[in-house]
Structure 1
Amino acid sequence: MAVHVVQSGETLWAISRRYGVSFSEIMALNGLPSTNSLTPGLALYIPRTQSPYRVYRIQPGDTLWKIAVQYNTTADRINEANPTVDLNSLVIGQKINIPTTAKLEMATLVFIAPYVQQAAIEQVYELAGQMTYIAVAAYSFTEAGYAFVQLDDRELVATSNQLGVRPLLMIRNQLNGEFDAELAGRVLGNPQLRKNLVTSLLNLVRERGYKGVSIDFEFIPPPRRNDFLLFLRELKNALGSLILHVNVHAKTEDIPTNPIIGAYDYQGISNAADIVAVMTIDYGYPGGPPDPISPAWWVEQVIVYALTQIRPEKLQIAMALYGYDKIVPDNTTIARSVLSAQNIALANWRPIQFDERALSPVFQYRQNDQEHVVWFEDIRSYIEKYRLIDMYGLMGSTYWQLSLPAPQNWAFVKERINVLKSYE
């Protein structure tokens, strides 16, 4: 198994001997600050061990033989992996475990805000093999609809192209660092301003060497729902063969009047765009009560609904490379990388719990007479998201964002997933 959950009294030396993996490698792949940095409940990624089963959903016309051939395994091995399932009577939608060496194939997109361009470039060099696309969050637009650059990106775009990672120009409806509903509503609702935005985006894409555009317009006023679709169609027509990638808030039903999700017509957006990324993150949101960032049960509900509107080969789900440290009871929120969250538990010798419904880790600690509750992601919760991608046949995942250290995730992707470098 690729994951070892630390038990009380265990040492890194003993874990190293058990798996035949050096403790220095275990430390590096899990971001451990020292050989003594263990706490009960800590999940460690262990390389070169048996992969977790892949999960498959029975489709119409499936037979056990057909599934075995598809995964380069045998019917006997599948039977052994599913001792409580009658595989002679397959039911459509049923989930079964598949023991196989065949890797999940998927496309990834990593967001980056290049506040320090050289640091971003170094991260791209390090993780280029795990990226299909990189979306550079460095653009917004004016009230007259003209896109403009906020952060220096030229060298980053050139490096990405050189390394075979397709850069996308990511544009957001932001003013003073915050999403602005009125800005989106004003530009989307005016045909001339939409034209200004399309034209300026196309010019920037061509000038700076991007392979397409990633749209992240949030809190669009619901009355602009159809105008947003018009904008996407106009932009895709201008882009031609270049990629149009659209990020949308997660939902499990369509509520056209809702101020957060109402403007997103999933089906219409899917028809206009090449890729639709559903933001399956921030279920537990800043300022809200302590909740998991991306509980597996909710992510699956979002996927099930999204697939009624979006073809799976166009659909990505989002993964968080961060967690939220909340001071209770007022829920003051501190955003932390998953590595920082993990290492706070280690520094405070706090046991990590794993919520069996959310399939997410959580711990508590006390500092300056204040109680903190920290929900974050670890190798176990990432594996569960990859299983959902695999099981539902999705295009892949997005990650917010590259500057947030998540060594477990990237080690797993490098070893266990075939990241497609070209996805058409």
Structure 2
Amino acid sequence: MTIHTVRQGDTVWKIANMYQVPISTIMQVNGLMSGALVPGLHLYIPDNRLPERFYQVKAGDTLSQFAETFASTVPLILAANPGIAPNELPVGGHLVIPTNQRYTMQTLVFMDAYAGTPYTEKLRELAGSITYLAVFTYSFTRAGDLIEAEDEEILAACRENNIRPLMVMSNYEENNFSAELAAAILHAEPRTVLINNIAETIEEKGYAGVSIDFEFVPPERRQDFTAFLKELKQKLGSRILQINAHAKTDDFPENRLTGFLDYAAIGEIADITAVMTIDYGYAAGPPDPIAPIWWVEEVLNYATSQISSRKLMMAMSLYGYDWTLPVQAETNAEMISVLDAQNRAIASGVPIQYDERAQSPHYRYRRGQAEHAVFFEDIQSVRAKYQLLQEYNLLGTTYWRLRFSFPQNWAYVERNIQVEK
């Protein structure tokens, strides 16, 4: 694969000729609405090169070992890593390995559940790249009774397309995560009722398991939350228990957001734990990268010290944020798809900047009298995240969420990743 950074004067025709790739292919995989381009735009060029894998060099490694392990060749590896000294591989250095032996991983995509959803066709289109579909969201009353999602159409689509559905269970109340609801359900009696209701419903509806998305749980309920997960897993038996955990780089049990999460205990109990590495920049905060790569690596360093990497997923965003400036305390940024973020820059004719340290694209534009700041992902930034995922040997990734269009990502996955089904 190739990533082309658009420069002043580039046209789609010129780029297509440069790489000998049809114009229609470039436009389709990058979601271009027209031939218009802006400087700084990263385009995914699906050329005839081999799929790529990533590896971080360890002491004693040799290129011949890589060639044998990854079914590649030394000349191919050298060509993909210009400037590397073949007999002096830098320990800790990052290598690209061209190979048909693609990295195998699991994926989990969140999808909103409601009757008449227009996204089931998109689900069918992407089915080959989806292991689990997390149906968002079921909730519950303070007594432990379920508040069900309208999931019939989605479950039917999962059955038709060999996708394993997971019931998302969250402390969602009146369109927000409720600390009070979480605190109430974690008492012994109502949580037992909830666990029984979850087990009964997933059996009845054919779910492969449950995805827990509890947020803002009071930190003093840490032990109760862990007990809830342990009891739930015992009830589920062989069905999957997947946990979505706020990202953190250390354990502070008093922390209002992450204190209730005992990573080590959760890692022992759950089949899959996904760390939410998509919240560095958030809607209610200042304009910032959603998932700067240096922060994601700090989170993974801590997470893999507590949880087996083969039970661990990292979260990736299919969205960006558009902030109206100056940011007002009472307003949130608009959450938009990566494709919308890209095309707003093109429609506004503004160049896209790229923060190399964060590995994050961003730009500013004007709408009416207001200035806007946009941070989002693109093919360059997600490639850096797939590199990190492979170097940490993670089980896979979660995506928030299906309705957000990011064609570059799915084209990359289809070409370079073996998604476990």
TM superposition score normalised by structure 1: 0.94
Provide the C-alpha distance between the structure 2 equivalents of 1:205 and 1:60, rounded to a whole number of angstroms: 47
- The residue number in structure 2 matching 1:141 is 140
Q: Secondary structure at the match of 1:67?
A: helix
Instruction: Find the partner of 1:294 among 268, 291, 294.
Output: 291
Alignment of 1:79-98 (within 5 A): 79=78, 81-82=80-81, 85=84, 88=87, 93-98=92-97
| TM-aligned CA distance change 1:52 to 1:327, over 3 Å | farther
| TM-aligned CA distance change 1:298 to 1:183, over 3 Å | same
| TM-aligned CA distance change 1:96 to 1:410, over 3 Å | closer
Listed one character per residue, the Cα deviations across residues 166-214 of structure 1 (whole Å, up to 9, x for unaligned) are: 00001110110100011111111x1111101100101110111100000
- The residue number in structure 2 matching 1:353 is 353
| TM-aligned CA distance change 1:213 to 1:117, over 3 Å | farther
| TM-aligned CA distance change 1:234 to 1:87, over 3 Å | farther
- The residue number in structure 1 matching 2:185 is 187
Q: Which moved more, 1:241-250 or 1:58-67?
A: 58-67
Provide the C-alpha distance between the structure 1 equivalents of 2:284 and 2:290, rounded to a whole number of angstroms: 13
- The residue number in structure 2 matching 1:336 is 336
- The residue number in structure 1 matching 2:384 is 384
Q: CA deviation at 1:100?
A: 2.9
Alignment of 1:159-178 (within 5 A): 159-178=157-176
- The residue number in structure 2 matching 1:7 is 7
Q: Secondary structure at the match of 2:9?
A: coil
Provide the C-alpha distance between the structure 2 equivalents of 1:96 and 1:15, rounded to a whole number of angstroms: 27
> Matched residues, percent identical?
49
1:158 aligns with 2:156: yes
Listed one character per residue, the Cα deviations across residues 115-135 of structure 1 (whole Å, up to 9, x for unaligned) are: 354423212111100001000
Provide the C-alpha distance between the structure 2 equivalents of 1:228 and 1:347, rounded to a whole number of angstroms: 47
1:66 aligns with 2:52: no
Provide the C-alpha distance between the structure 1 equivalents of 2:33 and 2:165, rounded to a whole number of angstroms: 33
Contact 2:248–2:258 (CA<8 Å) still a contact in 1? yes
- The residue number in structure 1 matching 2:41 is 42
- The residue number in structure 1 matching 2:114 is 115
Q: CA deviation at 1:389?
A: 0.8
RMSD value over aligned CA atoms?
A: 1.8
Contact 1:114–1:120 (CA<8 Å) still a contact in 2? no
Contact 1:247–1:277 (CA<8 Å) still a contact in 2? yes
Listed one character per residue, the Cα deviations across residues 110-155 of structure 1 (whole Å, up to 9, x for unaligned) are: 0001235442321211110000100000300111122221x31112
Unaligned runs of 5+ in 2: none
Q: Secondary structure at the match of 2:168?
A: strand
Contact 1:117–1:152 (CA<8 Å) still a contact in 2? no
- The residue number in structure 2 matching 1:222 is 219
Provide the C-alpha distance between the structure 1 equivalents of 2:227 and 2:167, rounded to a whole number of angstroms: 20
Listed one character per residue, the Cα deviations across residues 53-109 of structure 1 (whole Å, up to 9, x for unaligned) are: 532123577454333211112345445555655555667644333333322211100
- The residue number in structure 1 matching 2:228 is 231
Alignment of 1:262-341 (within 5 A): 262-331=259-328, 332=331, 333-341=333-341
Alignment of 1:368-379 (within 5 A): 368-379=368-379
| TM-aligned CA distance change 1:106 to 1:173, over 3 Å | same
- The residue number in structure 2 matching 1:100 is 99
TM superposition score normalised by structure 2: 0.95
| One-letter amino acid matched to 1:46 | I
